[in-house]
Chains A and B, each alone.
Chain A
């Protein structure tokens, strides 16, 4: 090995702490960068990734099984523009009930396709759990549907024979071709008539709505006349998926930028400090005959070795951390898991090593030009004169001497202190931003949970009717029991008024209101919107207000941001609701935060809807109940549920719903915040290690004069505490500014405004905690070297020059 190689190797091995810090810092910086960049890039088109992987169907078409034979439908594969098909598969829409014998019907019908296998040329379904359904009695359900595990039972009481099927697998179709899959033989056994048929198509040109319309027209023309009963375009699903994806991008970009800036800064700090710490050594080497270029090469190499190890580890950890993060994100997008694009690994690694090389080169060139004697002199200690004024002035303050010495220490190496402070500032900004984001998301989640306002919700189910007995004779259910097995019940119309009376009579009821839903037209919109009509005072269970106020009576309404945008209406304006030729005008008094039905909803008092003549379906009515203080909500729910059975209602206790999207965002934000905090802490650690090593002789003198270990620790902690306090104070506004910029952008991407209550989450106690957090990062980074300094034997320290 050459002399230069030996010097580089021994430098790396001898400065173990510095090497370790450089390795860890680079590793964490690269980990954060790979994760952030990977997520940003992956979030651009997750649907397209998964859709391409599954060869998703551009068009999911449903044909009337009585008007087209499977052979005729198979022949549509030759329609112009069609490049691949799957099917025909028999398909049915049924209402399921989950559990043995059914636990009450699920109000949402389920599209069930009879497919012999999950794979194929189109819609290559991902089996995420269990296996495919191959025989009768088995079913595979949508992985993003109700969370029932493999082995659970699902009953179709409306189907022929009222079969109960066992869930044998959970699968995900990016194109949402079905909610469940069974073997074709099982599907045909579920109905007594010819089932509909599903065909899945891929087209040569399917990028636009117009191209999709052309493809659909070609398929329609190729199939028997009038047999196509419905067709769904993948563009609709993609639009929805991308909107969800878009909500991630602003905060990931913000974290990514923080990580990248901090990476460059930290690497710069670490390498500059490493160079400065070894300037004395360089002087010695030059005095032995090393040329300036050898010194520069050796120096850059000494920085690059641990940096390269850190970069390699960072790439590995970034990818490993991205797996759960992306799976979480992928689940939120319903597009399956992905990995970091390889080019990101290469690009981040190259950028990190380039940053290390460049930052090492600048001080190394400076050191290379130094005369040997000068290098030796500079490398020993901070240049005399720096920070003297600060020391003198601080020494006059009525503070304990270790404290005033500690406060003055940052002024001895001002550039290094500022660099350390900037790392702390970014770390604190990350904590402030991450905390604010989590609080905002929590507030937004609570606001969106107003779908289930109050402690208890009563669903209007229909009163139990007569059902056939074993011999076909009518049989009434026993009092207090719901019909379970056996032929389909014949429900009688529910009576909402009777339900209301029952709720009022129930001990523990504090207040309640009911909501009924219907589809209506809104002047200025081409597609239908939802109407949510309230009976009773709903102000206590209102959705969060973005601007304006909740409605107070007939003629007033509130609406989500998306509907206001779609109709070009502002708060204070009027919109016209239409239904079967009738109209009703309501004044918009508030903009609310709501993403249900893509925000296409009008919420008003039931009396406002009278001119529309809507006959609300009792099955689409819910009662929301607030219970009195001290009432056991669980016992109340059970008691009310029993009382409601005779009038066609079912009570459910409300539990906080947590959106997987919010979980994914919280997970990512938490992970990135922790990484950035660790990087900031390591930056502090490295700086304090260097400072302590440089000042070890002075520490020895102070200890010889009687400075106690606790005072040594106090002095060093004070040194970083002051820097931490100042820069944390600057980092908090930066984090708040990021929060103020990013959260509304996320809302915009999700199609909603954000209420000010969810934006103004930083109160004084929180700011104090964040400030303390910044100081704690600094102190945590300094504790290790401070402890080392306190433990170092005075005689050893005094011998150190």
Chain B
């Protein structure tokens, strides 16, 4: 599903965030990326999501060379191939829950009926359908992250990317989200998780790597 070959990413203001990284993630696998702040975890996620480009090397996701795509093709790639879950949810405050979830489908020109059915199905499955008409500001952190996951899964992406999905949640909500992601992977969803939360990694990941200064310093398979 993910093939990263000899990737180096450098920023103007310092040394490489990632250095000659090689990594492969198979379909149905859940890879957790651990490491201290500044180790290159988010950079790796951004490269896979097509939010940033490597300085050197190639990133291939589901058969698509991500590092080679134009901005428009990258947008299409993000719509079809990946779903993203953020630490701070990144829901649009002025849209209702269901309108937030519908966004990826609407950008992909999915039919209105099909999109609505899919959104309600996901919200029901994730236990937040009762909040469909509410604005995100009224929901708890755990509920907001469930909405974010629903939005990420809206277009049935082959790859789910999660950046510290439990980082902004209380203990109970974090456990809730852990269970949700574990269930998704059990259903066959390929995932790349970037986290400090070892409990999340232990619960969800089929494989764990640890980054230090942009290099893989440890790898463990469950």
Interface residues in B69-88 by Cβ distance below 8 A to A read 71-72, 75-80, 84, 86
The answer to whether A706 touches B90, judged by C-beta atoms less than 8 angstroms apart, is no
Per-position binary interface string of chain B over residues 128-153, scored 1 when its CB falls under 8 Å from any chain A CB and 0 otherwise: 00000001010000000000000100
A667 located at the interface, meaning its Cβ lies under 8 Å from any Cβ of chain B in the complex = no
A401 located at the interface, meaning its Cβ lies under 8 Å from any Cβ of chain B in the complex = yes
B95's nearest neighbour on chain A, judged by CB, is A391
The answer to whether B52 touches A793, judged by C-beta atoms less than 8 angstroms apart, is yes
Residues of B within 8 A of A48 (CB): none
Closest Cβ of chain A to B179, distance in Å, is: 25
Interface residues in B32-59 by Cβ distance below 8 A to A read 46, 49, 51-52
Residues of A within 8 A of B46 (CB): 795
Contact of B107 among A391, A392, A401, A697 (CB under 8 A): A401
A384's nearest neighbour on chain B, judged by CB, is B93
The answer to whether A711 touches B99, judged by C-beta atoms less than 8 angstroms apart, is no
Contact of A706 among B76, B91, B93, B95 (CB under 8 A): B76
User: Which of B46, B76, B92 has the most chain A CB within a 10 Å cutoff?
Assistant: B92
The answer to whether A384 touches B94, judged by C-beta atoms less than 8 angstroms apart, is yes
- The secondary structure that dominates the B interface is helix
Residues of B within 8 A of A791 (CB): 71
User: Which of A395, A398, A703, A706 has the most chain B CB within a 10 Å cutoff?
Assistant: A706
A183 located at the interface, meaning its Cβ lies under 8 Å from any Cβ of chain B in the complex = no
The answer to whether B103 touches A702, judged by C-beta atoms less than 8 angstroms apart, is yes
The answer to whether A795 touches B75, judged by C-beta atoms less than 8 angstroms apart, is no
Known: A705-B107, A706-B76. A384 touches B95 (CB 8 A): no
B182 located at the interface, meaning its Cβ lies under 8 Å from any Cβ of chain A in the complex = no
Residues of B within 8 A of A710 (CB): 72
The answer to whether A704 touches B49, judged by C-beta atoms less than 8 angstroms apart, is yes
Hey, which bits of chain A sit against chain B, CB under 8 A? 381-382, 384, 386-388, 391-392, 395, 398, 400-402, 412, 697-698, 700-711, 790-791, 793-795, 798
Ranked nearest first, the 4 interchain pairs of A and B with the lowest CB-CB distance are: A706-B79, A401-B106, A708-B75, A795-B51
The answer to whether A706 touches B108, judged by C-beta atoms less than 8 angstroms apart, is yes
The answer to whether B86 touches A798, judged by C-beta atoms less than 8 angstroms apart, is yes
Residues of B within 8 A of A400 (CB): 106, 109
Known: A710-B72, A711-B107. A704 touches B94 (CB 8 A): no
The answer to whether B107 touches A707, judged by C-beta atoms less than 8 angstroms apart, is yes
A707 to B94, CA, bound (A): 17
Residues of B within 8 A of A388 (CB): 94, 135
The answer to whether A701 touches B90, judged by C-beta atoms less than 8 angstroms apart, is yes
Contact of A708 among B71, B92, B94, B112 (CB under 8 A): B71
Known: A384-B94, A705-B151. A392 touches B104 (CB 8 A): no
A408's nearest neighbour on chain B, judged by CB, is B94
A370 to B143, CA, bound (A): 32
A294 to B52, CA, bound (A): 42
B80's nearest neighbour on chain A, judged by CB, is A706
B137's nearest neighbour on chain A, judged by CB, is A384
Per-position binary interface string of chain B over residues 184-197, scored 1 when its CB falls under 8 Å from any chain A CB and 0 otherwise: 00000000000000
B96 located at the interface, meaning its Cβ lies under 8 Å from any Cβ of chain A in the complex = yes
Known: A704-B49, A706-B104. A412 touches B79 (CB 8 A): no
Closest Cβ of chain A to B51, distance in Å, is: 4
The answer to whether A704 touches B84, judged by C-beta atoms less than 8 angstroms apart, is yes
A702's nearest neighbour on chain B, judged by CB, is B103
Contact of A705 among B94, B103, B109, B112 (CB under 8 A): B103
Closest Cβ of chain A to B74, distance in Å, is: 8
The answer to whether B99 touches A395, judged by C-beta atoms less than 8 angstroms apart, is yes
The answer to whether A706 touches B99, judged by C-beta atoms less than 8 angstroms apart, is no
A797's nearest neighbour on chain B, judged by CB, is B51
The answer to whether A709 touches B94, judged by C-beta atoms less than 8 angstroms apart, is no
A444 to B19, CA, bound (A): 76
Residues of A within 8 A of B137 (CB): 384
Residues of B within 8 A of A709 (CB): 71-72, 75
The answer to whether B51 touches A711, judged by C-beta atoms less than 8 angstroms apart, is no
User: Which of B75, B96, B99 has the most chain A CB within a 10 Å cutoff?
Assistant: B75
Per-position binary interface string of chain B over residues 89-120, scored 1 when its CB falls under 8 Å from any chain A CB and 0 otherwise: 01111111001000110111100100000000
The answer to whether B51 touches A794, judged by C-beta atoms less than 8 angstroms apart, is yes
Residues of A within 8 A of B86 (CB): 798
A697's nearest neighbour on chain B, judged by CB, is B90
Hey, which bits of chain B sit against chain A, CB under 8 A? 46, 49, 51-52, 71-72, 75-80, 84, 86, 90-96, 99, 103-104, 106-109, 112, 135, 137, 151, 155
Write 14 A-B pairs (CB below 8 A) sorted by A numbering. Answer: A382-B94, A384-B93, A387-B94, A392-B96, A400-B106, A401-B103, A701-B91, A702-B107, A705-B104, A706-B75, A706-B79, A706-B155, A708-B71, A709-B71
Residues of B within 8 A of A412 (CB): 94
Closest Cβ of chain B to A454, distance in Å, is: 61
A636 to B80, CA, bound (A): 74
Contact of B135 among A384, A701, A793, A795 (CB under 8 A): A384
Residues of B within 8 A of A707 (CB): 75, 107
Known: A794-B51, A795-B52. A711 touches B94 (CB 8 A): no
Residues of A within 8 A of B151 (CB): 705
B73's nearest neighbour on chain A, judged by CB, is A708
Q: A705-B104, A706-B78, A707-B75 are in contact. List 18 more A-B contacts (CB 8 A).
A: A384-B135, A386-B94, A387-B94, A388-B135, A391-B95, A395-B95, A398-B112, A704-B49, A704-B78, A704-B84, A705-B79, A705-B84, A705-B107, A706-B79, A706-B80, A708-B75, A711-B107, A798-B86
Contact of B51 among A384, A698, A704 (CB under 8 A): A704
Closest Cβ of chain B to A380, distance in Å, is: 10
Residues of A within 8 A of B91 (CB): 701
The answer to whether B93 touches A708, judged by C-beta atoms less than 8 angstroms apart, is no
The answer to whether B107 touches A701, judged by C-beta atoms less than 8 angstroms apart, is no
Residues of A within 8 A of B75 (CB): 703, 706-709, 711
Residues of A within 8 A of B71 (CB): 708-709, 790-791
Residues of A within 8 A of B107 (CB): 401-402, 702, 705-708, 711
A385 to B80, CA, bound (A): 31
Residues of A within 8 A of B78 (CB): 703-706
Residues of B within 8 A of A704 (CB): 49, 51, 78, 84, 90
Closest Cβ of chain A to B160, distance in Å, is: 13
Known: A706-B104, A710-B72, A711-B75. A701 touches B51 (CB 8 A): no
A484 to B49, CA, bound (A): 91
Closest Cβ of chain A to B121, distance in Å, is: 19
User: Which of B79, B94, B107 has the most chain A CB within a 10 Å cutoff?
Assistant: B94
Residues of A within 8 A of B135 (CB): 384, 388
Closest Cβ of chain A to B109, distance in Å, is: 8
The answer to whether B76 touches A698, judged by C-beta atoms less than 8 angstroms apart, is no
A701 to B91, CA, bound (A): 8
Closest Cβ of chain B to A399, distance in Å, is: 10
The answer to whether A798 touches B72, judged by C-beta atoms less than 8 angstroms apart, is no
A704 to B74, CA, bound (A): 10
Residues of B within 8 A of A701 (CB): 90-92
B108's nearest neighbour on chain A, judged by CB, is A706
A790 to B71, CA, bound (A): 9
A402 to B103, CA, bound (A): 10
A705 to B103, CA, bound (A): 8
The answer to whether B52 touches A708, judged by C-beta atoms less than 8 angstroms apart, is no
The answer to whether B76 touches A708, judged by C-beta atoms less than 8 angstroms apart, is yes
Closest Cβ of chain B to A741, distance in Å, is: 43
A251 to B84, CA, bound (A): 59
Residues of B within 8 A of A708 (CB): 71-72, 75-76, 107
The answer to whether B51 touches A798, judged by C-beta atoms less than 8 angstroms apart, is yes
Residues of B within 8 A of A711 (CB): 75, 107
A37 to B94, CA, bound (A): 46
Closest Cβ of chain A to B173, distance in Å, is: 21
A701 to B90, CA, bound (A): 6
A701 to B96, CA, bound (A): 15
B163's nearest neighbour on chain A, judged by CB, is A798
Closest Cβ of chain A to B85, distance in Å, is: 11
A701 to B88, CA, bound (A): 11
Closest Cβ of chain A to B34, distance in Å, is: 20
Residues of B within 8 A of A705 (CB): 78-79, 84, 103-104, 107, 151
B104's nearest neighbour on chain A, judged by CB, is A705
